[in-house]
């Protein structure tokens, strides 16, 4: 039996075995399969475990869970040489017009199967600002295939928390556009922009996922992650060599986890279950203030009064009449030059970022992952100081708070 057939038989056999148990049991099994695939460490092809092979040939991680520990945010860990340790940080590459680097593609892959050379070591240099703050600037080393093209821009990004994010797909487009219109009429300089994504059939929809809102669905986001980060082909990205470019013939000719044209390493039967697992992850609950509801209310009031809630909306409506309590508006905002990257992106300016959901930030703080898209901020107060551009008024109001008020607001956000 071929590798692709082995995968399908593995999944289909489990599904057929529980058909008589009813839809509810089948749904639970789908989620269990999805979790197993999410946690699975993929291996290079060919392998005796046919359902596990196809990794790479170039890749950033062996599993989804490697970048999303406990379904949460990855950590920003930099050693004394400026090299990033662990998994979960990726270096996105791009050129004007939206394409990747002509040699390295759209990612700098830091690992490779035996016989191939990784593309490089992901490292940063710290650039100190006039006020003493420092930001990490991508500075990859040991590039295996020559220098990056002069026009190639870079963006360092940390794998985000996944919990509850399936709810974002259920927010109606109209609700997102209404928030943008409301912000445009407001007294501050906040002018959120909904990112439009053109689909394969020529229609468009709103982007909701990714640091730049460049993906409309969990399926699209997951497909891109399988393809770029693990080198596994999917229905949306059928190339078996992942992000290997034509300038990397050894990579394109290396073994892949398929045996015939038209087969996929991650067919729909598997991708759908990973998507179902991620979509079903519950939103992380906010912790209660140990001093009581009144203190919680004070923090929430300050969060709104400073203008934080203008973009970090505590909840968005969903199509079923419920809500997505994730603290985002799903809009792109210009956050100022301090947070800008150098990546050319036809759909988002270098300083534009989708409002990051704050739900789950308590876990990020507890694990010391670092905050913001590149993990530069150790805590909430530091993250706020990097808010500029459309967020400058809110940051200034926070700075003007009394020490007690700042502590109350920070404590409130720290429990989300």
The model's confidence at residue 23, banded by pLDDT at 50, 70 and 90, is very low
Q: Do 293 and 409 fall within a single domain?
A: yes
DSSP code of residue 73: P
Amino acid 27: pLDDT = 86
Are residues 63 and 312 in contact, defined by beta-carbon separation less than 8 angstroms? no
CA distance 73 to 388: 24
pLDDT at 95: 96
Place of tokens 């662990």: 86
24 has pLDDT over 80? no
Q: Is residue 398 part of a domain?
A: yes
One domain for residues 177 and 264? no
Same domain, 298 and 256: no
- Is residue 360 within 8 A of residue 165, CB to CB? The reply is no
Q: Tell whether the model's pLDDT for residue 129 goes beyond 80.
A: yes
What is the band of 102 on the pLDDT scale with cuts at 50, 70, 90?
very high
Mark whether 274 and 289 lie in a shared domain: no
- How does residue 288 score in pLDDT terms, banded at 50, 70 and 90? confident
Best-predicted range by mean pLDDT (25-34, 43-52, 58-67, 252-261): 58-67
Same domain, 170 and 246: no
Asked, for residue 224, whether it belongs to a domain, the answer is yes
**Residue 265 sits in the same domain as residue 339:** no
- Asked if pLDDT for residue 18 goes beyond 60, the answer is no
Nearest to 182 by CA among 172, 171, 194: 194
**Are residues 388 and 297 part of one domain?**
yes
The larger pLDDT score, comparing residue 200 to residue 225, is at 225
d(CA 289, CA 293): 7
Q: Which of 22-26, 144-148, 327-331, 342-346 has the lowest mean pLDDT?
A: 22-26
Measure Cα distances from 323 to 164, 201, 209, 277, 364 in Å.
11, 30, 17, 19, 23
Cα separation, 61 vs 86, in Å, equals 9
Over range 276-300, report the average pLDDT. 87
DSSP 321: S
Across residues 70-91, what is the average pLDDT? 96
Triad 294, 297, 303: Cα angle to 5°: 150
Q: Residue range 318-322: average pLDDT?
A: 96
> Cα–Cα–Cα angle for 73, 86, 363, nearest 5°?
25
Average pLDDT over residues 281-299: 85
Residue that finishes a domain, picked among 245, 280, 315: 280
pLDDT(64) > 80: yes
pLDDT digits (tens, 9 = 90+) for 131-157: 889 999 999 999 999 999 999 999 999
CATH code (residue 400): 1.10.760
Asked whether residue 208 is assigned to any structural domain, the reply reads no
Is residue 267 situated within a structural domain? yes
Q: Are residues 247 and 378 both part of a single domain?
A: no
Q: Model pTM?
A: 0.91
By percentage, how much of the chain surpasses pLDDT 70?
93
Question: What is the pLDDT averaged over residues 202-219?
Answer: 96
Please calculate the CA angle 127-132-137 and round it to the nearest 5 degrees. Answer: 15
**Of 243, 263, 280, at which residue does a domain stop?**
280
Stretch 4-22: mean pLDDT = 36
Cα distances from 142 to residues 83, 90, 117, 313, in angstroms, run 11, 16, 10, 43
Asked if pLDDT for residue 266 goes beyond 70, the answer is yes
- Give the confidence band of 293 by pLDDT, cuts at 50, 70, 90: confident
Please tell me the predicted confidence (pLDDT) of residue 287: 84
Is residue 52 over pLDDT 80? no
According to the model, what pLDDT value does residue 49 have? 64
pLDDT tens string 364-413? 999 999 999 999 999 999 999 999 999 999 999 999 999 999 999 999 99
Cβ atoms within 10 Å, residue 77: 16
> What's the average model confidence in pLDDT over 318-329?
97
Residues 298 and 407 in one domain: yes
Q: Between these two residues, 119 and 21, which has the higher pLDDT value?
A: 119
What is the model's pLDDT at position 46? 78
Beta bridge partners of 124: 138
On whether both 226 and 325 belong to a single domain, the answer is: no
CA separation for the pair 41, 383 (Å, rounded): 34
Encoded tokens for 5: 């057939």
Q: Which of 262, 280, 298 is the last residue of a domain?
A: 280
Q: What domain count does the chain have?
A: 2
According to the model, what pLDDT value does residue 76 have?
A: 94
Residue 12 has what pLDDT?
A: 37
Q: Taking all residues of the chain, what is their mean pLDDT, rounded to a whole number? A: 91
The residue-averaged pLDDT of 74-83 equals 95
**One domain for residues 372 and 259:** no
Domain for residue 139, yes or no? no
pLDDT at 50: 61
Q: What is the DSSP letter of 169?
A: G
Q: What is the DSSP letter of 168?
A: G
Under 8 Å between Cβ of 316 and 328: yes
Give the pLDDT score at 51: 67
Q: For residue 228, tell me if it sits in a domain.
A: yes
- Classify residue 110: in a domain, yes or no: no
Do 291 and 373 share a domain, yes or no? Answer: yes
- pLDDT, residue 145, reads 97
Q: What percent of the chain has pLDDT over 90?
A: 81
Residue 159 lies in a domain: no
Spatial CA neighbour of 377 closest among 65, 136, 159: 136
| Residue 389 vs residue 189, higher pLDDT | 389
Spatial separation of the C-alpha atoms in residues 258 and 4, rounded to whole Å: 6
Is the per-residue pLDDT at 343 higher than 70? yes
Residue range of the domain that includes 368 = 165-196+282-414
Q: Residue 259 above 80 pLDDT?
A: no
pLDDT at 5: 36
Angle at which helices 23-39 and 3-17 cross, to 10°: 150
- Answer whether residue 56 shows pLDDT above 50: yes
């Amino acid at each position: 039996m071929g590798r692709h057939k082995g995968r399908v038989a593995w999944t289909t056999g489990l599904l057929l075995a529980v058909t008589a148990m009813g839809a509810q049991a089948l749904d639970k099994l789908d989620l269990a399969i999805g979790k197993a695939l999410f946690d699975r460490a993929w291996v290079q092809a060919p392998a005796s475990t046919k359902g596990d092979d196809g990794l790479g040939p170039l890749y950033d991680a062996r599993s989804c869970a490697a970048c999303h520990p406990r379904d949460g945010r990855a950590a920003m860990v930099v050693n004394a040489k400026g090299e990033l340790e662990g998994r979960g940080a990726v270096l996105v590459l791009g050129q004007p017009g939206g394409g990747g680097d002509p040699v390295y593609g759209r990612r700098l892959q830091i690992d490779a199967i035996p016989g191939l050379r990784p593309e490089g070591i992901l490292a940063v240099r710290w650039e100190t600002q006039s006020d003493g703050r420092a930001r990490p600037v991508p500075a990859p080393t040991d590039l295996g295939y020559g220098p990056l093209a002069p026009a190639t821009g870079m963006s360092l990004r940390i794998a985000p928390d996944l919990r509850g994010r399936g709810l974002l797909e259920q927010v109606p487009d109209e609700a997102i556009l209404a928030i943008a219109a409301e912000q445009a009429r407001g007294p501050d300089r906040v002018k959120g922009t909904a990112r439009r994504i053109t689909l394969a059939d020529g229609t468009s929809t709103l982007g909701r996922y990714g640091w730049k809102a460049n993906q409309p669905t969990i399926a699209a986001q997951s497909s891109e992650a399988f393809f770029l980060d693990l080198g596994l082909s999917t229905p949306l990205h059928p190339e078996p060599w992942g992000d290997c470019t034509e300038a990397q013939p050894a990579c394109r000719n290396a073994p892949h986890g398929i045996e015939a044209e038209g087969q996929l390493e991650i067919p729909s039967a598997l991708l759908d279950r990973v998507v179902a697992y991620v979509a079903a992850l519950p939103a992380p609950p906010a912790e209660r203030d140990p001093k009581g509801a009144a203190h919680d209310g004070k923090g929430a009031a300050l969060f709104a009064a400073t203008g934080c809630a203008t973009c970090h909306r505590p909840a968005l409506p969903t199509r079923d009449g419920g809500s997505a309590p994730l603290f985002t508006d799903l809009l792109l905002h210009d956050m100022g030059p301090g947070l800008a990257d150098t990546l050319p992106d036809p759909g988002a300016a270098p300083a534009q970022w989708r409002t990051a959901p704050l739900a789950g930030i308590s876990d990020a703080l507890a694990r010391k992952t670092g905050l913001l898209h590149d993990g530069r901020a150790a805590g909430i107060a530091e993250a706020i100081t990097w808010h500029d551009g459309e967020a400058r008024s809110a940051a200034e109001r926070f700075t003007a708070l009394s020490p007690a008020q700042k502590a109350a607001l920070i404590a409130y956000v720290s429990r989300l």
